[in-house]
Structure 1
Amino acid sequence: MGEVNAETRAANLALAWEAARSAGQVTDEELPATSFASSISVRAVMTANKAKDTKPEQLLRSALHRKGLRYRVGIRPLPELRRTADVVFPKVRVAVFVDGCFWHGCPDHHRPAKKRGEFWQEKIKGNRERDAATNIALREAGWTVVRVWEHEDVNEAAERIRQLVRAKSQGH
């Protein structure tokens, strides 16, 4: 990054933080002792991360709907298993999970955290282990699991899912 670009970026960032403070979205409060965040700004970013109805999930659902597919959103494929799939086709037993590159350790895009690296490494390792256990439990119960990375082309992913659901509904 060139000198001018770094200065411009720093100025833009300062303006954005000031606008967020003015709008009441960010305050200069002390970091709670119980927080896992390394700073107030990191805490603000972590708090803003949504657990469901993320942009990649919404885009995939829209693409699936355009392809004529109807599905359930945010349900447990197996009620006894505390795992909620992002998109579920109960009749044909297909569960779709949209995985974020950071949170699920994408092999192509995940970049380790620089602050509190060991904590985040363990957190993401745990997420990946839970994903693998979820895949196994659902497959053993007769479900097909589809995992879509947030960076994948949404139309290609939707087409892959459409073909799978169609094949399963025809008994193939």
Structure 2
Amino acid sequence: MAFIFEQQYDLHSDRIYQYIYFLVGHAELAEDLTQETFIKAIQSQHTFRNDASTLTWLMKIARNLTYDYYRRKRIISFLPFTAKYDTKEESFTPEKWLEQNEESKRLYEALQKVKMDYREAIVLRKIEGLTIKETAKILGWNESKVKNCTERGMKALRQLLGGGDEDE
């Protein structure tokens, strides 16, 4: 199956952007890395074996590009920024925007403080809604590492957000 750029971009670019944004916390950088992800996908489409979904393959490319960027720049800390919002929603009011903005800002700031392994597991499992198997494939981990990192990351996130460390 050939990689049809426009179709795949329309289907997956928002999710790829959001994933990268959660990792880097900077809108312009996330946009650049999203574009690079699709360029890399076009260049390496012959390597796609259809043993995973196109989204999983693109997420893996996005993750690798993000890591390569940080390796090149030797950046250790990440800066939290606020989220983009879809203002097309009819019931979207300025008050709701402010409330979401504050909640999202707290979440981004807390996410930036957890270990990278935990952050990746949380973003893919809890925010992107991927399965354990899909997450393991993207990260190159076994399924139990995905489960452990997700649980430990959620516990750390709850503590950072003031929710204590009670078990679910």
Name the TM-score, length of structure 2 as normaliser: 0.32
- The structure whose residues are more often helix, as a share, is 2
**Bigger radius of gyration, 1 or 2?**
1
Q: Which structure is richer in relative contact order (CA contacts within 8 A, separation 6 or more)?
A: 2
Q: TM-score, normalised by structure 1?
A: 0.31
